[in-house]
Homo-oligomer: A and B are copies of this chain.
């Protein structure tokens, strides 16, 4: 059978993936959730028609959203992930031996359930003793959170439930929830296809944080294949710590070179 999934990545760009099977499909209280078996990228989690994660390329995004800020923090012990219900960021965070608490704040319990069932390798950190899962709204949760070392915003696109995760007030709440060496990272879309979102996130984060940086990674199932992450820090960044990590994308060299931006991206955020 010749069956394809197609994601409208922007109004004029689409990615098509041949699928072997539709493994799950449901309407949650927040969004439409589907799990598909693709030929090229293995299992794939789709929310409201947008690819969130696939078995074969998830390592890029999860390693890069987690390790880059954790290695720039002098001693991360208490970390939170807003969104990221698949658990991939938590899995990577737990590689860092100093971690005492890893909190996942996911609004949609069904995403976590689907990940545990269909993506056990991605979700495996959710069973760890150090992991605390909160099924609640990330915006409200951050307002009462305090003394976190690192907070990651592993959100969907800024439409639907994630819209409030792309506004300056939210970044200010994250600032207040961080301890004095605190660092945040938010996924901030593609410089090729969504330059205005990068500008919005950079501007919002820099209103709250004295240090703001952008870094990039190649995620083939995300629009354009080039993805950005916006980092905010309360203090000047030190050289990254060197710790052994089991990775498939991240290397000590990429820790530094991911901040070396193409000219057109530098111009975008200047």
Contacts and interface: CB of A to CB of B under 8 A. Distances in A.
A248 B262 contact: yes
- Copies of this chain, tallied across the complex: 2
A254 interface: yes
Interface residue tally of chain A, by bracket? 35 or more
A16 interface: yes
Nearest to A245: B263
Given A225-B220, A247-B263, A263-B249, A15 B16 contact: yes
Interface string A204-218: 000000000000101
The 7 closest A-B pairs by CB, nearest first: A225-B225, A257-B257, A14-B16, A12-B18, A220-B224, A253-B260, A12-B39
Given A13-B16, A251-B261, 6 more contacts: A14-B17, A220-B225, A225-B225, A225-B226, A251-B266, A253-B257
19 contacts: A12-B38, A12-B39, A13-B15, A13-B40, A14-B15, A15-B16, A40-B193, A57-B192, A60-B262, A193-B220, A218-B225, A218-B262, A225-B226, A248-B264, A249-B264, A251-B266, A253-B257, A254-B260, A257-B257
